Chain A
Amino acid sequence: MTERQRRSPRPTTLDVDALLTDRATRIVVCCGSGGVGKTTTAAALGLRAAELGRSTVVLTIDPARRLAQSMGLAELDNIPRRVPGVDTSNGGDLEAMMLDMKRTFDEIVEAHTDPRRAGQILANPFYQSLSAGFAGTQEYMAMEKLGQLRAADEWDLIVVDTPPSRSALDFLDAPERLGRFLDGRFIRLLVGPARSGGRAYVRMLTAGFGLVTGALTKVLGTQLLKDAQTFVTALDTMFGGFRERADATYQLLQASGTAFLVVAAPEPDALREASYFVERLARDRMPLAGLVLNRVHRAAAATVSGSRARLGAERSIAAAETLEELGSGPLAAAVLRLHADRVVLETRERRLRDGFTAAHPRVPIVEVPAMPNDVHDLVGLRSVGTALTP
């Protein structure tokens, strides 16, 4: 086992401080599956960057209440606010904001059409459903807001948290999916053949135009079909603007000043998602900085040099059993059992990490130890920042 461990590739260590202090780094995107500590990581990175001297803004999506409060974020209002209590002696500072998804969407609509039509769109039940809960709206709006913050150019560094999606990849796909839909034939069918021109109309006829509209009415009902028609007609007028913005944001993500950090925990699901993400970023030529592995457990006693061989899990359990049979040393017996569990857990986490590294040997990793308590103040964020830069 020891031999095998020695032969398995060791990951290189991700240098977070170098990334944060590099003036060329303008955007850091934290992504990963839900429940791995993305928001805390983003906040801790922002704080560290600010205290290292960079003028930083953190865009958070859905922070825990107490974490938000500790950063001076009382409400979701789309306005970056100065975080109190940050050490600005190195010349940096920190602002933070929470994404208001619906408001961001409304603003896009207002920016791309005249007030009368904007009013119609905002009142449409389809728009309301879409802007409040489209599986991807949050992702799309986070990217939109990132584009806006970057365009404002008021900060040296933008740290962005991504939404807790089912799949970590959603936010890359969302703009394209919306674009594909708006470009799709269903829209043309609803808007009418006039817009799409002759060829699509001919294709539609061969698909059985009457049959299709008849079926649509039957399935969706007349009223729903009418609302959908009004909505997409209105949306259609803004389509060019939507596409343009989605493309611009996508290019921004590919730019050299952007760094993606994939965040995971040493669990099979989270690392599987992280793997997909690494592959996807490579395919889309998005700049990956490395993997932040949160909540890593280390058996303290195993790090004592030379003691690992002597105090592995089996040895610990055997020793605990000896004491229990003797009926003495209950404290030592408990501590040995505890240690055995820690060693088992550590071994498992290491195996999972090495599996990731075997698949992605060039992705640097930084491991952040599991904290006994939740982080909800600047002191806690600062200690996460320290842990991120061992």
Chain B
Amino acid sequence: MVTGKGGTGKTTVAGALALSLAADGRRVLLVEVEGRQGIAQLFDVPPLPYEERQVAVARDGGAVYALAVDPEAALLDYLETFYRLGRAGRSLERIGLVDFVTTVAPGLRDVLLTGKFAESVRRRRGNGYAYDAVVVDAPPTGRIARFLNVTSEVAGIARVGPVRTHADMVLGVIRSPQTAVHFVSLLEEMPVQETADGIAELEQTGIPVGAVLVNMVRERMLPTDQLRAAAAGQVDTDALADGLAKAGVDASDRTVEALAAELVDHAQRVGAEDEARKTIEALDNRVLELPFLPDGVDIGALHQLAARIEEQVNP
């Protein structure tokens, strides 16, 4: 499971994680549950139907499949799978049961969404599992504990009965050691705070917490002491002008001043990142870092990010 505050690049990280897990000929399913078609955008493929489709290849015959789970389709799927309600299922849709379940009863909706990927985790293919790994681009940090802790969400509504039984099966998968919930964060105060809160909340539910994936980390261009000085506004402009002249570029005062201002800004950001990193390191979770890519994320960049994950997981 990959969660994170809005704007942290949760979908990108989920995609990179799926690619890294698919390396060496493995099959990975990447699931999206929020109806945003973020995976299709990320892998630059047409919008995904409610159907597993290959979206990328990985090293040595590995493959990433993707599925966009839609609550309405998941409900009809559920009715068909568990009750064989062909005609009656469609009647239920016509009378607005689908609206009811997917809109007004949030606990029920989440059971359907989580139920779909719980099923794909357990699905068999030949002698093994259909997928070596299932990666879920899960709802954001603020909602993740509620989303995954389905039994308690439906407990008030369904104390007994078929919905409860299904919810218990789903939670069994989610709570098992096969599952890990990874948090995507930036080295900024608010996302870090939300990550800490989200981890604390999830730990109370007994759902296994995985790593913190710190995204968009700036490359350090200078040694720490020079960055500290620059953050305080101290830049050796003479040395800078000298270097620029040696490199044969414009070394006028205006250019030197403007470049020095960029360095000060960079150094201040790096300083703020270091503060945020202290909080993340105090969390006691494994931390992985992914670089900031100024030119955005395309398929090539996604493979680069996947490689960075692999390097850190299997050094």
Taking Cβ atoms with an 8 Å cutoff, the residues of A that contact B are 33-36, 62, 64-66, 125-126, 128-130, 133-136, 164, 166-167, 177-178, 180-181, 184-187, 189, 204, 207-208, 211-212, 214-216, 218-224, 227-228, 265, 267-270, 272, 299-301, 303-304, 307, 310-311, 315-316, 319-320, 322-323, 326, 328-339, 341-342, 344-345, 348, 372-374, 376
Contacts of B250 in A (CB 8 A): 307, 310-311
Contact flags B97-127 to A (C-beta < 8 A → 1, else 0): 1011001111101000000000000000000
Report whether A215 and B222 are in contact in the complex, using a CB–CB cutoff of 8 Å: no
Task: Give the number of residues in B that approach A within 8 Å (Cβ atoms).
Answer: 81
Query: Knowing A64-B193, A328-B246, A331-B236 touch, does A220 contact B106 (C-beta < 8 A)?
Result: no
A301 to B255, CA, bound (A): 6
A344 to B87, CA, bound (A): 57
Question: Which secondary structure characterizes the binding site on chain B?
Answer: helix
Contact flags B160-179 to A (C-beta < 8 A → 1, else 0): 11111000000000000000
One of B58-66, B206-214, B260-268, B278-286 contacting the partner: B260-268
B243 at the interface (CB under 8 A from A): yes
Report whether B160 and A221 are in contact in the complex, using a CB–CB cutoff of 8 Å: yes
Selected A-B contacts with CB under 8 Å, 14 pairs: A64-B190, A134-B106, A167-B36, A177-B99, A181-B96, A181-B99, A185-B95, A186-B95, A204-B95, A301-B258, A331-B236, A331-B240, A334-B263, A338-B266
Contact flags B1-45 to A (C-beta < 8 A → 1, else 0): 000011110010000000000000000000000111010010000
A6 to B294, CA, bound (A): 23
Interface residues of B in 33-86 (CB under 8 A from A): 34-36, 38, 41, 79, 83, 85
Query: Knowing A164-B142, A177-B103, A339-B259 touch, does A323 contact B161 (C-beta < 8 A)?
Result: no
Contact flags B178-215 to A (C-beta < 8 A → 1, else 0): 00000000001111010000000000000000000000
Q: Which residue of A lies closest to B155 (CB)?
A: A125
B249 at the interface (CB under 8 A from A): yes
Q: Which residue of B lies closest to A130 (CB)?
A: B104
A220 to B296, CA, bound (A): 46
A133 to B246, CA, bound (A): 62
A33 to B265, CA, bound (A): 27
A14 to B253, CA, bound (A): 33
B157 at the interface (CB under 8 A from A): yes
Q: Which residue of A lies closest to B88 (CB)?
A: A215
Query: Knowing A204-B95, A334-B221 touch, does A300 contact B161 (C-beta < 8 A)?
Result: no
Query: Knowing A135-B103, A224-B161 touch, does A319 contact B248 (C-beta < 8 A)?
Result: yes
Report whether A300 and B261 are in contact in the complex, using a CB–CB cutoff of 8 Å: yes
Point out the residue from A134, A167, A212, A342 that lies within 8 Å of B95, measured CB to CB: A212
Report whether A207 and B95 are in contact in the complex, using a CB–CB cutoff of 8 Å: yes
